[in-house]
Structure 1
Amino acid sequence: MPDVMPIVAASVALFILLWLASIALYAMPESDDYCVTNRVNSMGLVGMVKSYYLHQMGRLTSLVAIAAPAVVSKVTGVDYVVVYPVILICGMAIFLAVSVYWAGRMWTGLSWPERFLAGAMLCAASFVLAISLREMLYWISGSASYMVPALFVIIILVELVRSAANETVLSTGQIVVLSAIGFLGALANEFTPFWIVALVAGSALYRAFYHPRPQLAGHAAMLTATFIGLAILLLSPGECGPDGGISGGGEDRRFFLDGVVLSVARAGSALHRICDVGLARFRGVVFGLRGAFATEAGGAAAGLDRRARGGGARWSLHRLCHCLFCDGGGSRDARAE
């Protein structure tokens, strides 16, 4: 009976997911989808990927995913327009399954109903917070470029955090799989490699200081695989040529540069926030200590007894803790007094 409540709670997320999936029944292919379908029908999957890589873009992972409806339609004989929304709904189901499974990997103490609740809530939150539902859920060219690498990032994040938190060792098989996922994720678009590199580098930095088995060589292998994938994407003939990029003129190279600028800007903003909070806490400590010393000195000058001075010290220690653990509020209190 206790395991029923997580399922009941997950019904809210399931309602949202089913509602979003029902809208996918009205999804229709667009111009890019028909271009890919035409090349799949005339050249085959490998020929289509080769053609795009040589003449337009290097997003190999996304290209294979984009071609899924065309391949299924060609193999089964079912109309492409009918297969298209089915593939989109299957993609949502896969995202839900991955979220549920890796939620269980993150929190191993949860029962399966609780894991389902965590995964369903994560999946529903990811969908409803999307900047564009059309590109995320209802257009295969957008969904393949961003939803697929999002799954890769979830897997890498969970496995690295799980190993670091439990102080376990990543097996050789795990390192190989995570390296392959990083490689495929880097081939999906120009932004995902930055996320993967940040996660792996952060894990390596944490383990170097706090983990009994840092496994820096394994992390270096994951980073190398990710950078190789990024190089293959950016150095494709379609990208480097005069007509490279999705829209021509090296559009993906501009996407890459925009990604670099955006990542640096966000990192700078986060660093500024950290420094600002750290400065506020430091100032709070300084004013707290100043208040503590003033209290002790005043108590001694007035000839207060030991008990009174102890009370003043305890009060000053309370103020100091307030300065340490409140966001700058303690420093203002100390200055005011």
Structure 2
Amino acid sequence: MAILPLVFPSNYLIGVLTVSAIYGMWAVSWDFMSGLTGRENFGHSLFIGVGAYTAGFLNTSFGANPWWSLPAAMVMAVLFALLIGVPTLRLKGPYFALAMLSGAVIMQRLMLIFWEHTGGEEGINGLTPLIRSQLGFYYLVLGTLVAMTALLLALARSHWGLILRAIRGDEATCQAAGINVTFYKIASLVISAACAGAAGAMYAHYQLQVSPQLFAVVTSITIITMVYVGGMGTIYGPVGGAVLLVLMTELLRRFGEWRLMVYSCTLILILFYLPNGLVAPLWQRLRGLFRRRGEAPRVEVAPDVMEQQA
């Protein structure tokens, strides 16, 4: 992805790759919490929208430097994660998913009700870009994606990630073993929200506009679909799933009105025949193939030779 803009110097391609990298950050942040713990978050767009609107208000209403939007968006997303996660993650069943879904829908309606301050359906316009150069901004987003994925992957492969997977496997056994299950679930939600909020702020400064559509349920469903296509619980798989689906959406534009039909049928086939995802299992197979080729060949010793040596 770093080489593509240099080989094909097209502003359209750079724009598509930038959007795919931002979606990759949203997908990997969702997978860290929901993919590892098994607690599905149907309102991940809440953190994205909060981060984006925080950047919009700071930049347009208060005239703050756009670079301050990133930490501010992370802080606001964390506050919303604590506000919803602390009371709901202690409950059993689908209450957390419903609470997150309700939170995203409520925030979207509030952005429309208080249109005098939020701009209503038009949103907030006139944001200042983080970097004037489109190529420079793309490399900023790509570098952030790589750093975020590396950090979350390191956490997922550490003792922390082992506990989160154990919670997904059997939460009652973890509690019986003395593990503070609620703390780990809330902490993972906070990390997920912080990453999503930062990516939402970057998206706002890329589009130079923020709208209530960021809170829409379809945004969360799109992210979840990317995670399932990439491989849930693998961290790096959702990044590939996001890039793949964004590029596929653009490539299918030539089909005109049949684009959504072809896109939907392709997704159904992938999810039906590849329930573990497409990107992560394919990468694991390729890695295993290269490992086998790199191993030294084993020398088979005949039984009679082994007897003589004995």
**TM-score of the superposed pair, with normalisation by structure 2:** 0.29
Q: Which has the larger radius of gyration?
A: 1
Q: TM-score, with normalisation over the residues of structure 1?
A: 0.27
Q: Higher relative contact order by CA 8 Å / sep ≥ 6: 1 or 2?
A: 2
